[in-house]
Structure 1
Amino acid sequence: MAAVRSTANDGYAEHAMISKDALLEMLGRTALFGALEEAERKAVAQEMRETSYDAGQVIFARGDAGRDIYLVTAGRVRLSVLTAEGRELSFAHSEPGQVFGEISVLDGGVRTADATAVSKVTAMTLSKGALNRLIEQRTIVREAVIKFLCSRVREADHQLEGIALYPIEVRLARFFLAAARQKPDFKPGAKVVLDLPISQSELALLIGASRPKVNAALAMLEDGGAIERKESRFTCDIDELEDIAGS
């Protein structure tokens, strides 16, 4: 299945959807480029191109050649695979400030998953050639790439462990905790408000469960005071979630 691709704009010009300063700040928060000095991040930004996708649009498909890595600047991207039975398994979402699509770019293989826009998405792309030049020229980028890939392996291990060993309410608690800890203003023990504009079906894909079971588990967390729901907004009690998650 060929990916439906959008046309990228030239760099972060005046008509771009993200300002130069905002892009530099976002790059500074990523695991790949956060250790770079501002001048080096500017060099990375100059190599990036802006692109956008509509909700439901395929950004790339499993088996495609890996030509670019992506930095999400707005919206949400689902990373998933199809089983032999045709069931979709969603293993991650990429949100603003997160990088995806790096594996095939780094190892020269094909895409290992489908990437689909859950909502309208804007992103900055960095070509394989540009990334390879950065890796060759800057030791700090090489080290960051190694750490980044190791973190991906750890995340995959934790997710597989959760699906194999833990009840759905525990998986949900861990999902909310992981999302809360990514917030810049996260404080241990404090309540955290999460805006998660995704359906229960999408949430079920992420934690490897059915929608009815996710709905029941959400009600259990809410009855126990671990979360409060109001449409797509969740107020999370970190202490309660940690007790449920066993962390």
Structure 2
Amino acid sequence: MAEINKSPAFWRSFPIFEEFSKELVAEVATLAQWRKWPSGTVIFQRGDDGNYMILVTEGRIKLSLITSQGKELSLRHLEPGTLLGEMAVLDGEPRSADATASILTEGYVIGKSEFMNLITRNPDAAEAVMRYLCKRLRETTDQLETIALYDLDSRVARFFLATLRHIHGDELPDEASLHIALSQTEIAGILGASRPKVNRSILSLEEQGAITRKGNVIDCNIRRLTHLAEPDED
């Protein structure tokens, strides 16, 4: 069993806790239990009780749905520093998607009753959680807008920019590099397209000077990527 990380900076690196006081962060740390999931482990399935949330520290977890035709729809790929399962913990509803460890994954689990007790006793924490949920809703709206309103070149460009903003914040440098752990098939699932079409779009971005690929590393020209992400803003 791994030792629980007690660093306030560590816990605040997860967006849901970033506004928590030092005392609240310390209490969160006492609620956490370390877990490990081998590659391929189904962590939970749609319809399961939402009695805990997970803070990912190593590895990657895929959130997906199985359609009525038996096709898997990839929703998100959660990497270190991300949180999942919090919606079911907070609203009391069943899990809304399947969660599977794509590779060997580690993280902390926080139980529903313990977390709800914490925020019920601390109004400041409850307000911080509400602001976090509003931000998540805006991100979901942006993702749906990307799929519905933009051509695939723009969607791929927006995906790269969104990933960069998770690393650098809203103020991006002129040039930045990305290490993409996802396969093109996984990216295609996120963007609602086929793998061959995503591959063609990545080639198109490369031909237009927006990116340069060096193995799994992608060097990004932010100005050109932004131009492709918002083609109607000229």
* TM-score, length basis structure 1: 0.88
3-state secondary structure, aligned to 1:182: helix
- Once the two structures are superposed, what CA deviation does each residue of 1:68-120 show, in whole Å capped at 9, x if it has no partner? 11111011111111111111111212221111111111111110001111222
Letter in 1 for 2:206: E
What is the aligned counterpart of 2:12 among 8, 28, 35?
28
Letter in 2 for 1:25: A
What is the aligned counterpart of 1:205 among 169, 189, 193?
189
- Once the two structures are superposed, what CA deviation does each residue of 1:23-53 show, in whole Å capped at 9, x if it has no partner? x323112221111222321110111011111
Equivalent in the alignment of 2:214? 230
Letter in 1 for 2:165: R
Aligned pairs for 1:101-120 within 5 A = 101-120=85-104
**Cα RMSD (Å) of the superposition?**
1.7
Equivalent in the alignment of 2:42? 58
Structure 1 residues 184 and 39: alpha-carbon distance in aligned structure 2, compared to 1, 3 A threshold: farther
**Count of residues in correspondence between the two structures:** 231
**Gap regions ≥5 residues in structure 1:** 1-8
**Greater alpha carbon shift after TM alignment, 27-36 vs 207-216:** 27-36
Give the CA deviation at 1:187: 4.4
**Gap regions ≥5 residues in structure 2:** none
3-state secondary structure, aligned to 1:59: strand
Structure 2 residue 164 is matched with structure 1 residue 180: yes
Aligned pairs for 1:5-44 within 5 A = 9=1, 13=3, 19-21=5-7, 24-44=8-28
Letter in 1 for 2:39: A
What is the aligned counterpart of 1:221 among 196, 202, 205?
205
State whether residues 42 and 101 of structure 2, in contact with CA within 8 Å, keep that contact through their aligned partners in structure 1.
yes
Runs of 4+ in structure 1 displaced over 4 angstroms?
Answer: 184-187
3-state secondary structure, aligned to 1:32: helix
Equivalent in the alignment of 1:244? 228
**Greater alpha carbon shift after TM alignment, 115-124 vs 202-211:** 115-124
* TM-score, length basis structure 2: 0.92
Give the CA deviation at 1:184: 4.2
Give the CA deviation at 1:231: 2.2
3-state secondary structure, aligned to 1:179: helix
Structure 2 residue 82 is matched with structure 1 residue 83: no
